[in-house]
């Protein structure tokens, strides 16, 4: 009989992946989160489960939602059955840090990566879920 890994192992893997996506070294991320390098290493290796305050600071340092980190620390999947999955396009459109030109550029890059070569229309399964939004 196998069991799922403890929530803190999944949290650690998630923190590490987000740090790497942000192109931060362990030292840089620890400094931004105002924690020590060894403590961040323990979190990433799943040997420490940080407090809510540390999770919030870490989320800010990694530019991810504190709610997502808190849910992962609690062992809860961020997207529950029946919940609306946030779309990347929506996140780009609503990010206050981006200018209109940056939004257009990012949406163009996203489309280039997610559209199959030669495809000009949205797949039928996606049509019903797609909302029309303007920048």
**pLDDT tens for each residue of 40-95:** 999 999 999 899 999 999 999 998 888 888 877 877 765 555 554 556 777 777 77
**Is 2 domain-assigned?**
no
Residue 61: name the closest of 94, 34, 95 by CA. 34
Residue 68: name the closest of 94, 86, 90 by CA. 86
Q: How many domains are contained in the chain?
A: 2
Residue 12: name the closest of 74, 91, 73 by CA. 73
Query: Looking at the structure, do residues 16 and 60 belong to the same domain, yes or no?
Result: yes
Query: Looking at the structure, do residues 69 and 109 belong to the same domain, yes or no?
Result: no
**Is 50 domain-assigned?**
yes
pLDDT surpassing 80 at residue 120: no
**Is 69 domain-assigned?**
yes
Task: Give alpha helix (H) positions in the chain.
Answer: 7-21, 26-33, 37-44, 52-62, 66-73, 88-94, 100-114, 124-127
Look up the domain containing 51 and give its range: 7-73
**Is 135 domain-assigned?**
no
Query: Looking at the structure, do residues 67 and 104 belong to the same domain, yes or no?
Result: no
The reported pLDDT for the residue numbered 126 is 44
User: What's the CA gap between 49 and 12, in Å, rounded?
Assistant: 9
User: What's the CA gap between 78 and 68, in Å, rounded?
Assistant: 6
CATH code (residue 15)? 1.10.260.40
Report CA Rg, the chain.
18
Query: Looking at the structure, do residues 11 and 68 belong to the same domain, yes or no?
Result: yes
């Amino acid at each position: 009989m196998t069991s799922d890994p403890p929530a803190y192992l999944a949290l650690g893997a998630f923190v590490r992946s987000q740090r790497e996506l942000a192109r931060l070294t362990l030292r840089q991320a620890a400094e931004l989160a105002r924690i020590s390098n060894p403590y961040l290493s323990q979190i990433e290796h799943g040997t420490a489960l940080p407090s809510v305050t540390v999770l919030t600071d870490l989320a800010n340092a990694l530019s991810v939602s504190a709610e997502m980190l808190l849910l992962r620390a609690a062992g809860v999947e961020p997207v529950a059955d029946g919940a609306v999955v946030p779309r990347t396009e929506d996140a780009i459109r609503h990010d206050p840090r981006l200018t209109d030109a940056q939004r257009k550029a990012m949406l163009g890059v996203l489309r280039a990566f997610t559209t199959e070569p030669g495809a000009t229309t949205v797949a039928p399964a996606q049509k019903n879920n797609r909302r029309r939004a303007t920048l």
